[in-house]
Structure 1
Amino acid sequence: MGKYVVRGLSILMLVAGLWLGWGSQPAYALTDEHQLLSEVWRIVNRAYIDESFNHQNWWFVRQRWLQQPLETREETYGAIDEMLATLGDPYTRLLPPEQYRSLQTSTSGELTGVGLQIAKDEQDGTLQVVAPVEGSPAAAAGLQPRDRILSIDNVATTTLTLDEAAQRMRGPLGSTVVLTVLRPGGAAPSSLEQPVEQRFELKRDRISLNPVTVQFQTLDNGLGIGYIRLSQFNANAVTAVAQAIKDLEAQGANAYVLDLRNNPGGLLTAGIEIARQWLEEGTIVYTVDRQGVLDSYTATGAALTQAPLAVLVNEGTASASEILAGALQDNQRAVLVGGITFGKGLIQSLFDLSDGSGLVVTVAKYETPAHHDINRSGIRPDQRVSLAPLGRDQVATAADTQYQAAVELLTQRVAIARVS
């Protein structure tokens, strides 16, 4: 079952719908295929964030599909996909068993493919790069956040769901896949640069998802900077960040830079637990369900360090990364440096289905501790700093202007603390 409490369904309506038909329709019993479709319908009915179901009568939607002949599982999956499409939400979707197992594997810390985190634009349905996974073929080829993938091996992505697109980018190790990508023009609204279409031929590889990279630097003034790059909130992230803080403190770190650039998110629970490693007290995030009911997660008084902290963010910082960045910013625990974040403020929950497939449902949205709804708008850093494209070996070096700005802010903060 999913991780969120779901509300009960009217038993009276359920019985009437299953056995008495609707209106003048004849009575009928459900086949195995119709039962699976009905199972999906019930979960969405209980948990989906929009109580209007995209301004349609969700009960009528169910009745319409139950009257369709469904003879095979493939037909049923197709019908479920069409039913869910009426919600207008690309994140609420069915995962057939193979795709569901692949998703569970990726969040456990293992992945094969080209290493791209992708999303569907909620307004025009185009496929958009959230961020490449660090060390992946996509990152090595230069794929960037906000790139729009037009086709995968000449198949237009407008015809594909998120999971179908991801499936096409997977394949045997060493095989290739060709992506046609539209890269946005200049970032400034007045820029005369035009979008550029490019083709990328990527060789599939096994991708290591060790989510943390660590570096220690001692400045001329004696300040010890502990640098932690967190690339994804997978099952390994909480333990890896805690160990990084411990190791850097042992080396003499008395200030930290947490790098969330191009971190597309992952497990919500991991984001919350990592926030608790930096916060002694305060709200971490509010979640808001379809009835406007607020729930919250708070710090537990078990922070691992009180040392000054700067957080690096950019347009590839999304979802759980934005929860962490927003919590640290609103609680005045850290200064944010870089660019405006991606702006994905919706929360999905996973539900197991009876045939081994899975259902992803948007169940809530989140707000930062200061009640900022960042969906589509993102989080604004305290100090905006532009950054030219960097090679992998240039991150957190003198060439990294965002990192250098963070180090300068930490130096000033520690100097003020010493004087006072």
Structure 2
Amino acid sequence: MSTNHDDPIVIVGMAVEAPGGVETLADYWTALAESRDLLGPFPRDRGWPLERLFGLAETEGWGTVRDAGGFLDTAADFDPQFFGITPREAVAMDPQQRVALRVAWRALENAGINPSDLGDDEIGCYMGASNTEYGPHGAEVNDYTGYRAGGAALGAVAGRISNCLGLTGPSVVVDVACASSLAAVHMAANGIRNDECEWALAGAACIMGSPGAFFEFSKNNALAADGQCRPYAEDASGTLWGEGVGVVVLERESRARRLGHRIYARLLGSRVNHNGKGAPIAVPSTSAQERLIRATVAASGVAPELVDLIEGHGTGTAVGDPLELAALQQVYGAPRTDGSDALLGSVKSNLGHAQAAAGLLGLIKVLLSGLHGQIPPTRHAAQPTTRVDWDGSGLRLASELRDWAPRDGVRYAAVSSFGVSGTNAHAVLAMPALDETGSVQAASLKEAHA
């Protein structure tokens, strides 16, 4: 992907649902700024074998599963008639389809676009999602047989949005595990640049239809022993699974300015790569991540020392976090003339690892940080891991809420997302600062990158 600096891709709308009852952007920002713990006990209304799950540690070789995770309170809430869907079909639909549709509608409204008046426009829809085992097996006969083909189809997470809103552009689901959401944003931006669609929705959804991910990581002894996800921390003991849905609206900057849409950020550059062969597929690669980050920074046209905020992958694992930190230090760790360090964080410290949606929840955190001119803290950051040398590294953990001064009217940030399938994604953003009246400062994005 080469970035078109004459008419770059911008983000003009967003919406989110996250654990802890977060249903609005205001809810999300408040939770982040106040460093809230959004984790909670396992849901008791999904028919999960919780007694068996919590007893796994009694079997030799299995790790402890705490009664904790980042679960959506509204995963089962849906108004099918609002979207023209029958109640029986709605029950057969994977909740990832339902909540993604609801959040996509809100993202359009946030962009000042009427979702019910889109017609049959060539608008793209790119969503990240993974199969989370919702509902009965297809070979079973039940009241919902006949609806399962569309209800369980992973591609319908995007297809349902396109169908209900009348979008006739590309409609694609990206499944590269935990890198899915940023990969979806990357593909959406390329789709617009290549004139495959005039503008696009991009996002991701993760709602667990079963606790299978907890079983898998219990067997691998990779779950947080205390039920807390501690990215980049010395006492990190493993990751903790969570849920979430996020959607952004992308278009060319010329279109945004012509229609008067608020510009949250320019997508200066994005890249996707793979670890390649060598280590087992699930093991991260510092060299691959470094190559990816360098390529993204080069595409962005921004010097790495201008990037003040990095929303890392940061899963709280003893293997992954140090490898990621090493790659980040190689690219963003150059000495800065003003003596500052880039601040690093991960929203997983608040709400757990939202899997396919993790990168999008991190991206929206960055967009809100730019909007508010503040960098929220990462929880559990008081004691950074000693597996890397932080002194003189140019990086430090964001341990408290602090103001974020723009550089010539612009704030620069980066977001990472890496998948267990070996796929990596990275993006670099530029966000316009607002003056006291809420208008873009004189040194706008256009002037800063002329």
Q: Same fold (TM over 0.5)?
A: no
TM tier relative to shorter chain: under 0.3
Of Structure 1 and Structure 2, the greater strand share is in: 1
Q: More relative contact order in 1 or in 2 (CA 8 Å, sep 6+)?
A: 2
Normalised by the size of structure 1, how large is the TM-score? 0.25
Bigger Rg, which one: 1
Normalised by the size of structure 2, how large is the TM-score? 0.24
